Amino acid sequence: MEKRSYRILFLWFYVVSLVLWIIEEAYTLTNPPEIFDRFRLLIATFESFIAISSFLAISILYRELKTEEGENTQAQTLILDLKRTNRILKNPESSFWIEVKSQMEAWKLTNTEKEIAILLLRGFSHQQIAGVRKKSLRTIENQTASIYEKSSMRGKLEFISFFLTPLLPEED
C-alpha cells in the first residue's frame, strides 16, 4: 500500500475512535452518576471537549494536507519545465527536437499524431497537413483534436507556445 492510503486508513480509524468515544461520553453525561461519582461528570465533559477539538484539528490538518499536495504538484511541474528549458538551452538546435519527441512520448502520441504534431510546430495549417499526408481535412482535424486532448492543450497556439516558451529570453 502506498503512503497516502495508510494515512487515509489511519485518519478513518482515528475518526471512528473519536465518534465511539463521544458516544460513550454522551451516554455518561445523559445518565446521572451516583452521588460519590459526581466528579466523573466534570471529567466526561472535559473529555468530550477534547474529542470535539480533535475533529476540528483533523479537519484543519486535512485541508492543509490538500493544500500542500496541490503546491507539491505545482512545484513538480515547474521543476520539470525548468529541466526541459535547461536541456533545450544547452544545445538549442538539436536539443529542441529531442525534447519535442521526448514530450510526445510522454503524452503517448501515436506515430501519426507525432508526425502531425511536428507539422503543427512547423506552422502548417490543417489544410496543408491534409495535403501533405493525403488525408481528408476532417481526419486531420480529428487527429489534432486528439493531440490537444492528450497534451492537455486547448489549441494550436497553446501547443506551439508550450515548446517555444523555453527558448524565449526572460523579460526585463
Mean pLDDT over residues 142-158, rounded?
A: 91
pLDDT attached to residue 34: 64
What b/e readout covers 119-153, taking b as 16+ CB neighbours within 10 angstroms?
A: bbbeebebeebbeebeeeeeebeebbeebbebbeb
pLDDT attached to residue 3: 59
Domain extents in the chain: 3-75, 92-167
Whether the predicted pLDDT of 147 surpasses 90: yes
**What is the C-alpha separation between 147 and 170, in angstroms, rounded?**
28
Confidence at 139, pLDDT banded by 50, 70, 90:
very high
pLDDT attached to residue 109: 92
Cβ distance 105 to 120 under 8 Å? no
Q: What is the pLDDT of residues 27-84, one digit of tens each?
A: 777 776 665 466 666 677 777 777 777 877 788 888 888 888 888 888 887 787 777 7
Whether the predicted pLDDT of 11 surpasses 80: no
Q: What is the pLDDT of residues 14-25, one digit of tens each?
A: 777 777 777 777
* Top CATH class, 92-167: alpha beta
**What is the C-alpha separation between 149 and 143, in angstroms, rounded?**
10
Please calculate the CA angle 102-118-106 and round it to the nearest 5 degrees: 25
